[in-house]
Structure 1
Amino acid sequence: MIYLQLLWSFFQIGLFSFGGGYASMRLIQNQVVTLHHWLDMTQFADIITISQMTPGPVAINSATFVGTHIAGFWGSIVATIGCVIPSCIIVIALAKIYTKYRQLDAMQAILKGLRPAVVALIASAGLSILILSLWQGGAVSWSPASVDWICAAMFAAALFVLRKWKPNPIWVMVGCGVLGAIIFPFMG
């Protein structure tokens, strides 16, 4: 039964993940945290972080990690297949349609209309992870005591470095990970 739930959940994620892996984070959160309670928000944030650091698409990596966490090796296989199948079918169908009708104004209008929705999905997922990082347990409070100021400073520094010098984001993530490994053991 758990295999069917994993397959169906990640099939839905794969089916409705327009805009890539970052846009799918909100859908993944809804399935694995809100609906099925397979993970809590902290575990979800950890899996998203690992999924971003490992090679491959975020949604597929998340499916693999969640499947492993829930049902071991076969769970990872089933969840990954569930995530990939809709994309394969959709890409083949859309490639045929786009090749045939790419010059039509209606096709360009459809693509233009999808862009704001993709940006909203990415912003929503990013905001959820930011809130989880800066406030313990994800409960936003404007009390200065409730903010994790070390995480806030690391976020601001990483954002500044990424915008000012535009380095490879992997190096910024590695730097923040090393800094966290140095700082946080002494804090707790």
Structure 2
Amino acid sequence: MLLLQLFLSYLKIGFFGFGGGYAMLSLIQNEVVVRHAWMTNAQFADIVAVSQITPGPIAINSATYVGYTVGAQMGPAYGVAGSLVATFAVCLPSLTLMILVARFFLRLKNNRLVEGAMRGMRPVVIGMIAAAALLLIFPHSDAPGDRNFIDAWSWLLFGGVLAGSWRKVNPILMIVLSAAAGIAIYYPY
């Protein structure tokens, strides 16, 4: 039953998650943390962090990780099954739509209705990305021990990385320096 719920949740995320992985984060958070309470906001934030640093799309990486975590609640053998179910479910809508749309896209590419629909979805995608960021910064959960992971050091690191981005500092260097700062600041905790 849990694997079916996992499949249906990620199928819904796959169908309605327009705009890529970051836009899907608010949908994933709503299903995983709010609706089913499979994990806390802090655990979800960890999943987002791990999904960002591993190769591949964030939605697929997070689906694999969440699926494994949820499946493992049923027993160690179900972790892999959960990751396969969630990953397949989040990919299925895109695969299906691409097979159906690919045939007609070249003919419809310059259609006014299609162009209007694409133009109309852009602000929604920006809003969904902003909603995901706000959910990670200001979690609204009543779970005990589920607190905001943002503190003064986090804002200081964010400001440093933002300044480094404006000054065109190498992103790999910023990641390494941020990791070193995180270890120096948070290791005793």
Q: Which amino acid letter does the alignment assign opposite residue 99 of structure 2?
A: I
| Counterpart in the other structure of 2:143 | none
**1:78-124 residue CA offsets vs partner (Å, 9 max, x unmatched):** 11111111110112223233212112222211111110000100111
SS at match of 2:55: coil
RMSD of the alignment, in Å? 1.8
Q: Offset at 1:50?
A: 0.3
| Counterpart in the other structure of 1:15 | 15
For 1:1-188, list aligned pairs within 5 A: 1-71=1-71, 72-131=79-138, 137-138=147-148, 148-165=151-168, 167-168=170-171, 170-186=172-188, 188=189
Q: TM-score scaled to structure 1, two decimals? A: 0.87
SS at match of 1:50: helix
Q: Which amino acid letter does the alignment assign opposite residue 156 of structure 1?
A: G
Higher RCO (CA-CA < 8 Å; seq separation 6+): 2
Question: Which ranges in structure 2 are unaligned for 5 or more consecutive residues?
Answer: 72-78, 140-145
Q: Hey, which of these two has a bigger chunk of helix by percent?
A: 1
Q: Which amino acid letter does the alignment assign opposite residue 14 of structure 1?
A: G
Moved more, 97-106 or 1-10: 97-106
C-alpha distance in 1, partners of 2:11/2:24? 12
Number of residue pairs aligned between Structure 1 and Structure 2: 176
C-alpha distance in 1, partners of 2:148/2:151? 11
**Moved >3 Å (runs of 4+):** none
Q: Which amino acid letter does the alignment assign opposite residue 148 of structure 2?
A: G
**1:32-59 residue CA offsets vs partner (Å, 9 max, x unmatched):** 0000000100000000110011001111
Q: Which amino acid letter does the alignment assign opposite residue 184 of structure 2?
A: I
C-alpha distance in 2, partners of 1:92/1:166? 40
C-alpha distance in 2, partners of 1:94/1:163? 39
C-alpha distance in 1, partners of 2:26/2:174? 24
Question: Which ranges in structure 1 are unaligned for 5 or more consecutive residues?
Answer: 140-146
Q: TM-score scaled to structure 2, two decimals? A: 0.86
